[in-house]
């Protein structure tokens, strides 16, 4: 049994549905049937197809800025598993409803939190059915009701989405490229500093160009200068002051079957 203790203040949506058809509108149309006086806020609907780490990064970056009682609905790669399942977890007074495909294990520190099974889709892989069940859970949360759900184990993300850490350096890949061409890597400041252990470092790109120090602001550098820094979400990012780092260095989002083109090496010395 799960006791829901927070009235809902707002609802967010994160998906890979895109913006070229009616999918997002359909999702919102179904969900608002189950809510009253609630704002629906879009995190993003342009998550790259099948890109688990980008979905997790966008969620982790956004959710901590919302008030207690917020419900986050993740509609990413919903039917990727052979036996799709919807799960619910709570973190910092906020609720997360998502497919059990590893996205929450990357985005939310829920290691010591109970995970609740909301739906075993089985062979019924109908998106509309999934949305209606999501709406039912949202309605129960909004009314502060007891929910009869069973506790379950959450699926963890495959290892290939994680950085490779060894004694002499790191191998990372691109998980997000923003509107300005700034590139976000799949390494947090905590992970970086633990692996670095006080040593000097450098990141080497094409044409033997290097970055070997952490900056704090783009404004600290002259236009065209390269930099790396830790962003507000705590992830390492590579940028060019008033420029496009992704375009300059030929970087793109990680794809599992193209590792050689997406790996960025950080060396310690």
* Tens-digit pLDDT profile for residues 228-237: 999 988 999 9
Residue 18 and residue 125 in one domain = yes
Q: Which residues of the chain have pLDDT under 70?
A: 1-8, 110-112, 121-124, 145-147, 256-262
Residue 158 placed within a domain: no
Tell me, yes or no, whether 46 lies in a domain. Answer: yes
Of 117, 152, 187, which residue constitutes the final position of a domain? 152
Is pTM beyond 0.85? Reply is yes
Q: Model confidence over 132-190: pLDDT tens digits?
A: 999 999 988 888 766 678 888 888 877 777 888 888 999 999 999 999 999 999 999 99
Strand residues in the chain grouped as ranges (E) = 2-3, 10-15, 39-44, 71-75, 85-91, 94-99, 115-120, 146-147, 150-152, 164-166, 169-177, 183-188, 201-204, 210-211, 226-230, 235-240, 263-268
SS3 content of the chain, % helix, strand, coil (to 5): 25, 30, 40
User: Quick check: is 51 in a domain?
Assistant: yes
Tokens found for residue 163: 């950085």
Is 237 found in the same domain as 140? no
Residue 199: give the domain boundaries: 163-268
Whether residue 107 sits in one domain with residue 211? no
User: Is residue 157 in a domain?
Assistant: no
């Amino acid at each position: 049994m799960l006791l829901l203790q927070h009235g809902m203040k707002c609802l967010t949506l994160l998906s890979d549905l895109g913006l070229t058809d009616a999918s997002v509108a359909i999702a919102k149309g179904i969900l608002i049937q189950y809510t009253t006086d609630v704002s629906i806020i879009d995190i993003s609907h342009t998550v790259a197809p099948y890109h688990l780490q980008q979905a997790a990064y966008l969620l982790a970056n956004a959710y901590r800025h919302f008030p207690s009682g917020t419900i986050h609905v993740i509609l990413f790669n919903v039917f990727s598993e052979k036996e799709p399942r919807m799960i619910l977890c709570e973190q910092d007074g906020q609720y997360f409803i998502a497919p059990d495909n590893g996205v929450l294990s990357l985005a939310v520190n829920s290691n010591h939190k109970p995970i609740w099974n909301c739906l075993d889709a089985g062979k019924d892989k109908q998106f509309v059915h999934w949305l209606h069940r999501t709406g039912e859970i949202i309605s129960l949360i909004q009314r502060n009701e007891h929910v009869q759900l069973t506790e379950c184990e959450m699926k963890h993300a495959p290892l290939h989405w994680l950085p490779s850490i060894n004694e002499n350096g790191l191998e990372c890949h691109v998980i997000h490229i923003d509107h300005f061409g700034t590139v976000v890597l799949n390494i947090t400041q905590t992970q970086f500093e633990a692996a670095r252990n006080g040593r000097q470092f450098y990141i080497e790109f094409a044409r033997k160009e290097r970055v070997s120090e952490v900056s704090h602001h783009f404004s600290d550098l002259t236009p065209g200068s390269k930099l790396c820094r830790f962003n507000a979400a705590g992830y390492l990012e590579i940028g060019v002051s008033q420029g496009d780092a992704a375009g300059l260095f030929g970087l793109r989002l990680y794809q599992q079957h193209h590792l050689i083109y997406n790996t960025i090496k950080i060396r310690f010395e």
